[in-house]
Amino acid sequence: MAFVQQVLEWQILDQLLSSLFLLVVILTSRWLLLNGLRRWSFGDGELKRRWMVHVKNLAFITFALGLFVIWATELRTFALSVAAIGAALAISMKEMILCFLGGMYKASVRPFDIGDRISIGEVHGEVIDHDLVSTTLLEIGPGKDFPHLTGRQISLPNSQLLSLPVINESNRRRYVLHTFKVPLKRMTNWKKAEQALLQAGREICSPYLEAARWQLSRMGEREAIEIPSVDPQVSVRLSDSGHVQLIMRVPAPGVKLGQIEQDILRRYLELLD
């Protein structure tokens, strides 16, 4: 081991001496060439300065290439060490790196801001804080069927922004077609319930129909897609247990979905009574 250590020390010493010799040769050559150019009479002063700059740049490039050749073995070993350390850090800090990438994505795309009501995967809430690492929501729920604040805070890592869809419900000028289910008992008169639900939807959503129709038609023209009718509609579906489900679809501003759904359900129950 002592012999190997001595050999390594002699090898590094040889490289240091070679680097010093190269530096002396480059500096001497540079000095001689610059002095020769200064004494040489040029007809054009700009041409003289240009040659002097070329000499300085050539000396620097030659010195850098020489050092690279002399220290190539050590540089290769150092590069491998840096690559190994980088790979280990990337593996151990994978989640943190993804959080930073999610934060950069959020900062560039801006899918939401403070005060917006959003859904990320199964989490639904109001944004109260966000940074490059995490996003904090005030939970709305429980679940997506209840539009009320629960008072609980949910902290989500920004890495989820890279893998889960983000739904922003807080654009007050954007209308959407909202869908919700109304289950019925097996012996219920489903035709009467369907008419009551449809009437409730028309009454509650009548103030939004024209604005929603205009906005969605404009979106269809801009994106070259066919937009379905915005009029309230009720579909009938049978569940696996044989019960009837009424599927209500109505137009509404994104920020009022929970309120409008509640108003329709309350009016529906009044009509049934």
Q: Tell me: the pLDDT tens digits for 149-201?
A: 777 888 888 888 888 888 877 655 578 888 888 888 877 788 899 999 999 99
Asked if residue 184 and residue 163 are part of one domain, the reply reads no
d(CA 13, CA 1): 18
Better-scored residue on pLDDT, 195 or 145: 195
pLDDT band for 94, please (50, 70, 90 cuts): confident
Asked if residue 188 and residue 157 are part of one domain, the reply reads no
pLDDT at 250 over 80: yes
Asked if residue 226 and residue 208 are part of one domain, the reply reads yes
The secondary structure of the chain in percent helix, strand, coil, rounded to multiples of 5, reads 60, 20, 20
Asked if residue 42 and residue 128 are part of one domain, the reply reads no
Asked if residue 116 and residue 61 are part of one domain, the reply reads no
- Residue 100 is assigned to a structural domain of this protein: no
Last residue of a domain, one of 126, 141, 168: 168
User: Interior CA angle at 49 toward 45 and 50, to 5°?
Assistant: 115
Asked if residue 18 and residue 51 are part of one domain, the reply reads yes
Which whole number is the average pLDDT over 213-224? 79
Asked if residue 258 and residue 183 are part of one domain, the reply reads yes
d(CA 149, CA 168): 16
Asked if residue 195 and residue 228 are part of one domain, the reply reads yes
Burial of 28: CB neighbours in 10 Å, binned 0-12, 13-18, 19+: exposed
CB 273 within 8 A of CB 217: no
Query: pTM above the 0.85 mark?
Result: no
Asked if residue 190 and residue 151 are part of one domain, the reply reads no
- pLDDT for 268 equals 92
Buried b or exposed e, range 186-214, using 16+ CB within 10 angstroms: eeeebeebbebbbbbbeebbeebbeebbe
d(CA 114, CA 168): 12
- Residue 212 is assigned to a structural domain of this protein: yes
Asked if residue 206 and residue 164 are part of one domain, the reply reads no
Asked if residue 118 and residue 85 are part of one domain, the reply reads no
- Residue 209 is assigned to a structural domain of this protein: yes
> Could you give the 3-state DSSP secondary structure of residue 215?
helix
Provide the residue range defining the domain that includes 63.
2-91
Query: In this structure, what CATH number is given to the domain that contains residue 128?
Result: 2.30.30.60
Last residue of a domain, one of 145, 168, 191: 168
Total structural domains within the chain: 3
CB atoms closer than 10 angstroms to residue 244: 17
